[in-house]
Every structure is written in structure tokens, then in C-alpha cells.
């Protein structure tokens, strides 16, 4: 943990304007090898826009993005090919394809056959198919969805769709994975499992940059956290430093964390209280909270 100094991602002075609105303003940002970095900030702070600038979905108005020392062309497929994979805040899966097929599509940048061949299952694809399928199944085992390989993506519960998105992203064999709100809509158990999954991904040698509103998730997980407020990087540092920074607290005041994370926390507190009550009448209940 002491030699995390090789940059995987370097964003320099990235600005993104939409007409008169500056969604991202002069952001410098680095992710080093072996790191899990968090990107937090109130709604509308520019987090997703910044991801879109990193992945070639948007061409930044100013600034450059480099991956392992090379400036990236602002084209999503070339960014993926270079080694950056992502998931989306709004899940993007092929709803009517199976779980396995979704992962296979994610592999197309790493096979010679290309997307259409993969989708149409032409002769070239068939040859490469076996190896690809084995790799895809490994990934499904890794995320715990191997038993659902033949289910249609649209029939998966929400939490599993988010996991499948991660598997699809990993199928492109990235060196850096960007996750945009991976635990949105998850219950506390699923969130904790996702935490473990992200650690496991990092242990495979893949750096991770993650946007989340769930502060507990972020501060448990990340080696470093950057705070974006109104498009600007306000603070950056370890979880401890960021948590203690009054500017961060001020930035969130009057901006309660929206939706599920808050609800999940309330549910967790209620569950803990119920446990405490139960523990008074029975013996130990520990273990359920894992």
C-alpha cells in the first residue's frame, strides 16, 4: 500500500460546459494503480458529467484525459479498448438478452470478431466463442451470477442487474473500472456484498473509481475520496480527512442524500434496534448483520 504512485488515470484541467452552464470546472484528477478512489458530491455536482468526459461520451470543452500516460481519444469504444470500463447510473443492459450474452457483448472489444459478429454469432464468432464463453462464465462466477446465465437480463432483480453491469464492464478486461452509483437501489446486504466485490476487483489489479451517495460505502471502501461541488473539486484526501472537512459538511447541508441510501440507513437502524430488542429476550443474534 506504500507504492501506489503509478498513475492509471490522469485528468488535467478538465472543463465541461453546456451552453452557459459549467458542469465541470478545471478538474485535475488522478487514479493510481491499485487504488479505489471515491467521487462524491451533492446532486448535480457534475460527477456523471465528469465520468462522461473520462470515457469519451463527452468531449471536454477544455483539458485532457490520459490513461497510463497516453492521452485518450474522445471516443467511447477507443477508451474501452485502451482499458477503461464503466457502468452507468441508469443501468444499460440488453434487456432481452441473457445474462451470459450480456457479458459476451462486453467482451467484443477484446476479441477480433467485433460487436456485430458477436450479436449475429457468425462463423468467426463461433470459433472464438468457446474461449469467450469460458471467460464470461468465470466473470459470472466471480460476481455470483453463474447460476443465472440463461436468464433474461430484464428478469433479474435490480441489485443483480447492477452486478451484471459490472461483469459486462469487466469483460472488456479493463485496467480501470468506473462505477456510477453501483449500490443505488440496493438493500444494506447487497451494498455490503458490492463493497466486497469492489475490493475483490481491486485485488485483481484493476483500479476503481466510484461515484456513490452512500457515505458509509464510500468511506469504508476508498483509499482516497474527492469531493465535487458545483463542478469544482472542493477537497481530496483520505476518508478521514474528507469526513472531517467542514467545507464538505457545509456542501451537503440542506442537501440530504437523496432516495435509497437514506432509506437504507433508516432500515438498517430499525433492524439494529429490532435486533437489540430481540437480543434482550433471546441469546445472541450476531451474524445476521453481515
Ligand X SMILES: Nc1ncnc2c1ncn2[C@@H]1O[C@H](COP(=O)(O)OP(=O)(O)OP(=O)(O)O)[C@@H](O)[C@H]1O
* Contacting positions for ligand X (CB under 6 A): 18, 21, 23, 41, 43-49, 89
Q: Per CB under 5 A, does 132 bind Mg ion?
A: no
When CB distances are held under 5 to 8 angstroms depending on the partner's kind, the choice from ligand X, Mg ion, none that residue 65 binds is none
Nearer to ligand X, 232 or 268 (CB): 232
Least separation in angstroms between CB 259 and ligand X: 10
Least separation in angstroms between CB 44 and ligand X: 4
Q: Per CB under 5 A, does 52 bind Mg ion?
A: no
Contact at 8 Å (CB) between 11 and 65?
A: yes
Least separation in angstroms between CB 226 and ligand X: 12
Tell me the backbone φ, ψ of residue 144, rounded to 5 degrees. Answer: 85, 30
Nearer to ligand X, 41 or 174 (CB): 41
Give the Cβ contact number of residue 50 at 10 Å. Answer: 29
Say if residue 157 is exposed, middle or buried (CB neighbours under 10 Å; 0-12, 13-18, 19+). exposed
When CB distances are held under 5 to 8 angstroms depending on the partner's kind, the choice from Mg ion, ligand X, none that residue 23 binds is ligand X
Least separation in angstroms between CB 45 and ligand X: 4
Least separation in angstroms between CB 256 and ligand X: 13
Counted residue by residue, the chain has a size of 290
Q: Per CB under 5 A, does 183 bind Mg ion?
A: no
| CA-based end-to-end distance of the chain | 26
Longest dimension (CA), the chain: 66
Query: What are the residues whose beta carbons fall under 8 Å from the beta carbon of 212, sequence distance 6 or more?
Result: 38, 40, 179, 181, 182, 183, 218, 261
CA distance 207 to 227: 19
User: What is the b/e burial string over 184-214, where b = at least 16 CB atoms within 10 angstroms of the residue's CB?
Assistant: bbbbbebbbbbbebbeebbeeebbbbbbbbb
Q: Which of these segments, 66-74, 84-92, 120-128, 256-264, binds Mg ion (CB under 5 A)?
A: 84-92
When CB distances are held under 5 to 8 angstroms depending on the partner's kind, the choice from Mg ion, ligand X, none that residue 188 binds is none
Nearer to Mg ion, 104 or 225 (CB): 225
Contacting Mg ion within 88-127 (CB under 5 A): 89
Nearer to ligand X, 38 or 46 (CB): 46
Q: Among 14, 31, 40, 48, which residue interacts with Mg ion (rule: CB under 5 A)?
A: 48
Least separation in angstroms between CB 188 and ligand X: 20
Least separation in angstroms between CB 182 and Mg ion: 12
When CB distances are held under 5 to 8 angstroms depending on the partner's kind, the choice from Mg ion, ligand X, none that residue 45 binds is ligand X
Contact at 8 Å (CB) between 41 and 251?
A: yes
CA angle 253, 254, 256 (to 5 degrees): 85
* Residues contributing to the site for Mg ion (CB under 5 A): 47-48, 89
Amino acid at each position: 500500500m506504500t507504492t501506489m504512485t503509478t498513475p492509471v488515470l490522469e485528468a488535467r484541467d478538465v472543463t465541461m460546459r453546456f451552453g452557459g452552464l459549467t458542469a465541470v470546472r478545471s478538474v485535475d484528477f488522478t487514479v493510481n494503480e491499485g487504488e479505489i478512489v471515491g467521487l462524491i458530491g451533492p446532486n448535480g455536482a457534475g460527477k456523471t458529467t465528469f465520468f462522461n468526459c473520462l470515457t469519451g461520451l463527452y468531449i471536454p470543452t477544455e483539458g485532457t484525459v490520459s490513461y497510463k500516460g497516453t492521452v485518450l481519444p474522445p471516443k467511447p469504444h477507443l477508451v474501452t479498448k485502451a482499458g477503461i470500463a464503466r457502468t452507468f447510473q441508469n443501468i444499460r443492459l440488453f434487456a432481452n438478452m441473457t445474462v451470459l450474452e450480456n457479458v459476451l457483448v462486453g467482451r467484443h472489444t477484446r476479441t477480433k470478431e467485433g460487436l456485430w459478429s458477436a450479436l449475429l454469432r457468425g462463423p468467426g464468432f463461433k470459433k472464438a466463442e468457446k474461449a469467450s464463453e469460458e471467460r464470461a462464465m468465470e466473470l459470472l462466477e466471480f460476481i455470483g451470477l453463474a447460476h443465472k446465465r440463461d436468464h433474461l437480463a430484464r428478469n433479474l432483480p435490480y441489485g443483480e442487474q447492477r452486478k451484471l453491469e459490472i461483469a459486462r464492464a469487466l469483460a472488456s478486461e479493463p485496467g480501470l473500472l468506473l462505477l456510477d452509483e453501483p449500490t443505488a437501489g440496493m438493500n444494506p446486504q447487497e451494498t455490503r456484498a458490492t463493497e466486497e466485490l469492489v475490493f475483490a476487483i481491486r485485488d485483481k489489479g484493476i483500479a476503481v473509481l466510484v461515484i456513490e451517495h452512500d457515505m458509509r460505502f464510500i468511506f469504508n471502501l476508498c483509499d482516497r475520496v474527492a469531493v465535487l461541488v458545483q463542478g469544482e473539486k472542493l477537497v481530496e484526501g483520505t476518508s478521514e480527512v474528507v469526513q472531517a472537512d467542514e467545507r464538505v459538511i457545509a456542501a451537503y447541508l440542506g442537501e440530504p442524500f437523496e432516495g435509497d441510501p437514506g432509506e437504507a440507513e433508516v432500515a438498517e437502524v430499525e433492524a439494529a434496534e429490532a435486533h437489540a430488542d430481540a437480543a434482550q429476550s433471546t441469546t445472541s443474534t450476531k451474524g445476521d448483520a453481515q
